[in-house]
Amino acid sequence: MIKAGIYGATGYTGVELAKILDRHPSVEIVFTTSERSAGQRLGDIEPISGALGKRPLIPADSAPIDDIDVAFLCLPHAAAAKTAVTLLQHNTRVIDLSADFRLKNVDVYEKWYKTTHPAPDLLGEAVYGLTEFARAALPDARLVANPGCYTTTSLLALQPIMAAQAKMRGSIIIDAKSGVSGAGRAAKAATHFVKVSNNLAPYAIGRAHRHLPEIEQVIGWWHDSPPPVIFSPHLLPVPRGILANVYVQLNGGMDETAVRALYETAYADEQFVHVLPAGELATLAHAVYSNNCVISLTMAGDMLIITSATDNLLKGASGQAVQNMNVMFGEKENEGLR
């Protein structure tokens, strides 16, 4: 059995992770942490019945670190990196769902996250855990940086066309909508029901959202001269799910048949990335409550429009974290996932 600890188990990603690991046949959850709700049970925070609901919540500093093989950090950035340092000192493998180890350049991190990085020495070692493109590195990884939710949705949309070194003009435009759980559990004015319901609100549009440098970093690994990205996220009045329309202005040389062949070949053997047939468009409903990223392709002249849908809490967070754990520990990649 893989013995796992969940830090930040009361958050949206932590609860989702606890549900997945609870049904995973090769995992034993050893502890679940919370600071503000320590002493309560998981079922006091979320409507969860049975043994999982009875799990005690303990503060992180009393967690039996030496009893686990892997820790999942469902914590805010900075708090996650500090916890990772302690865990690695105890030879515990770490899957971090926060942004702390995603960006390789500490200056970029500190500019976007407006804090001093607690463990910059670990940035080089962290494996960027977009599972489909990290399989070779995961089995030996001590520290995995789980990608962001918008980032996962955008990168899976872009990888085949970027890896093909397609010629492009202008900027890549990512117009994305996310359900409200993407903002975490804490109450904020912008995510109140009254603000969110019956509305569709853009935020941090253009080049202002923290996932922008992450997206640009990774497409730079795939394409020799990637265009700049314009990223426009929106808050959608649904609990979960991300839908992104990704616009890539091709510079000739590739028609719809060639693009479709590229995507179908790239994802032919992937169980969690599905390219829809011509004429079908990806929707939120294709992806929510699953670990799938569902992609559709549209050509408008030379403009390639990739529509990509995920569940932000699953493929965008906890599902992908378990997918990474499965590869790290030699389990079937889809164990516990659907």
Ligand X SMILES: NC(=O)c1ccc[n+]([C@@H]2O[C@H](COP(=O)([O-])OP(=O)(O)OC[C@H]3O[C@@H](n4cnc5c(N)ncnc54)[C@H](OP(=O)(O)O)[C@@H]3O)[C@@H](O)[C@H]2O)c1
Give least dist CB 56 to ligand X, A. Answer: 13
77 is a contact residue toward ligand X (CB under 6 A): yes
Does residue number 241 form part of the binding site for ligand X (CB under 6 A)? no
* Whole-number Å distance between alpha carbons of 243 and 285: 10
User: Residue with CB nearest ligand X?
Assistant: 11
Helix, strand and coil content of the chain, in percent to the nearest 5, comes to 35, 25, 40
- State which residue, 43 or 184, has the beta carbon closest to ligand X: 184
Minimum Å distance from CB 46 to ligand X? 11
Give yes or no for residue 319 binding ligand X (CB under 6 A): no
User: Least distance in Å: CB of 183 to ligand X?
Assistant: 7
End-to-end CA separation in angstroms for the chain: 20
For ligand X, the closer of residues 101 and 263 by Cβ is: 101
Q: Specify the DSSP element, H or E, that contains 88.
A: helix 79-89
Q: Which of 118, 184, 227, 237 binds ligand X (CB under 6 A)?
A: 184
Place of tokens 């320590």: 38
Binding status of residue 308 toward ligand X by CB under 6 A:
no
| Alpha-carbon gap, residue 180 to 157, rounded angstroms | 22
181 binds ligand X (CB under 6 A): yes
**DSSP of 120-171, one letter per residue?**
GGGTTT-EE--GGGTTTTGGG-SEEEPPPHHHHHHHHHHHHHHHTT--EEEE
**Residue 98 is a binding residue for ligand X (CB under 6 A):** yes
136 exposed, middle or buried (CB, 10 Å; 0-12, 13-18, 19+)? Answer: exposed
Q: Which is nearer to ligand X, 100 or 250 (CB)?
A: 100
Q: How far is CA 241 from CA 83, 180, 227, 277, in A?
A: 28, 9, 27, 21
Count of CB atoms within 10 A of residue 180's CB? 22
| 205 scored as a contact of ligand X (CB under 6 A) | no
DSSP 8-state symbol, 203: -
Does 34 bind ligand X (CB under 6 A)? Our answer is yes
Q: Which of 2, 4, 5, 10 binds ligand X (CB under 6 A)?
A: 10
Candidate list 149, 244, 321, 325, residue with the active-site label: 149
Closest CA to 14 of 138, 185, 141: 185
CA distance 246 to 229: 10
Residues in binding contact with ligand X, number by CB under 6 A: 30
In angstroms, give the least distance from the CB of 60 to ligand X: 6
Give the one residue of 94, 162, 212, 313 binding ligand X; rule: CB under 6 A: 313
Stretch touching ligand X by CB under 6 A, among 24-32, 92-100, 113-121, 169-177: 92-100
Q: What amino acid is encoded at 24 in this protein?
A: H
Among positions 5, 160, 182, 336, the unique one binding ligand X when judged by CB under 6 A: 182
Q: What is the DSSP letter of 254?
A: -
What would the two tokens of residue 102 be? 């995603």
Q: Examine residue 19 and tell whether it contacts ligand X (CB under 6 A).
A: no
Q: Are strands 70-73 and 2-7 parallel, antiparallel or unpaired?
A: parallel
Question: What is the C-alpha separation between 285 and 294, in angstroms, rounded?
Answer: 10
Least distance between ligand X and beta carbon 244 (Å): 14
Active site residue 149: yes
Nearer to ligand X, 101 or 267 (CB): 101
Is 129 a binding residue for ligand X by CB under 6 A? The answer is no
Stretch that binds ligand X, among 133-141, 176-184, 255-263, 278-286 (CB under 6 A): 176-184
In the list 2, 4, 12, 226, the residue contacting ligand X (rule: CB under 6 A) is 12
At closest approach, how far in Å is the CB of 336 from ligand X? Answer: 18
Report DSSP state, residue 55: P
* Residues designated as active site: 149
By CB under 6 A, name the binding residues for ligand X: 8-14, 34-37, 74-77, 79, 97-99, 148-149, 181-182, 184-186, 312-313, 316-317
